Structure 1
Amino acid sequence: MPNIEIYTSPLCGYCHAAKRLLAAKGASFVEYDVSRDPKLRQDMMGRANGRHTVPQIFIGARHIGGFDDMAALDHAGKLDALLTDN
């Protein structure tokens, strides 16, 4: 399973939805809370091509985007393949 990283903040409903979807898929992930760390938020924005909203999700080296982007991949039947690629 590839390395999965998700940038979040505690009060973000989309962040919680993204984590639930990943958990339902049996995927483990590393979570970074950007709410109190401006440097971490800057790092996220750099990796996410300037996107500043959370969540920002990365699977391996690929930037997935936010929850809506990941949910669209799931509905298209493409998320499972990304989660199992090495």
Structure 2
Amino acid sequence: MQRVTIFGREGCGYCRRAKELCETRDFDFKYVDIIEEGISKADLEKTIGKPVHTVPQIFVGSKHVGGYTEFAAMINGR
């Protein structure tokens, strides 16, 4: 699998679960804390091309997957 990039924030349960899923599956991943990095939801919207209401926002390579639920479903082949 290509590198996974997770855009999230501190205190977000789904962000933590996404990181844990990558760790347990031994995926190459990068976690980006949007607060620490000064990234707004508007910035993510420009990258994704549609409104962003929640985090995490997850990419596999350059492809936007969605949030935790979509990522977990993709990993589990659903």
2:32 maps to 32
Pairwise CA RMSD of aligned residues?
1.7
Q: Give the paired residue count.
A: 75
**Cα offset, 1:44, TM superposition:** 1.7
Structure 1, unpaired ranges of 5+: 79-86
Q: Which amino acid aligns with 2:65?
A: I
Contact kept, 8 Å, 1:45 with 1:52, in 2: the verdict is no
Pick which of 58-67 and 46-55 moved more.
46-55
Give the helix-richer structure, 1 or 2: 1
Q: What is the TM-score normalised by the length of structure 1?
A: 0.74
Give secondary structure in 1 for the equivalent of 2:65. strand
Deviations 1:17-51, CA, capped at 9 Å, x for gaps: 001111111112111111252xx123222223221
1:19 maps to 19
